[in-house]
Amino acid sequence: MKMPGDMGLDVSRETLERLKTYLDLLVKWNAKINLVSPDTMATAWSRHIVDSVQIVRFSPFDMEHWVDLGSGGGFPGMIVAAILAEKSPTTNVTLVESDQRKCAFLRTVNRELGLSARVLSKRIEAIDPLGADILSARALASLDRLLGYCSLHLRQGGTALLPKGRGWKNEIDDAGSQWKFSWQSHKSVTDPEAVVLEIKDIAHV
């Protein structure tokens, strides 16, 4: 698999090796359970890993708690944990995933990569507020629904970093009927039509 050298973030050789190990585990486990679409495996390094790495560029490195909702195969949450183990080792990372088989994969990755992320095997709606400084969610739900999760699990002054595809402008418009929020978009390094939305000051209309 092709592995582009520039991931948009300077990482150590140790972190790069962790990410390569992650890819090996993804290939092994995806043959047994559906972590990501099989059609994306040929380009998994850029499609999933680099796409997740780029999100960290838009966060500070002095945060206490990063929460990733609907973590699935660990994108971006476990990739974030691998990056922050080097860049911000005091940051706690929590991954929320209701599928028990996917949680087993996430815990295996956590152990094999020597990370200390917390994996919660619960539905998002069933968890008490997590008080996140940064909240991420990738391919989980529409923006209006995500903002409901954000309002519950972000601390006051926290930021949501949400990757969105080509329909992101329509999602902004739709969400505006239910929510007030400030936002800016960052162009994706892996897809010219995609963005990472940076959202703050979320309040229900």
pLDDT of residue 5: 47
The string of pLDDT tens digits covering residues 103-141 is 999 999 999 999 999 999 999 989 999 999 999 999 899
Residue ranges for the chain with pLDDT beneath 50: 1-5
Q: Are 199 and 159 in contact (CB under 8 A)?
A: yes
Q: Which domains does the chain have, with CATH numbers?
A: 13-204 (3.40.50.150)
Neighbours of 195 (CB within 10 A): 19
Give the CA distances from residue 173 to residues 64, 168, 169, 177, in Å, rounded to whole numbers and listed in that order. Answer: 31, 9, 6, 7
pLDDT of residue 11: 79
pLDDT of residue 8: 56
DSSP state of 178: T
Token pair of 78, please? 């476990």
pLDDT of residue 2: 36
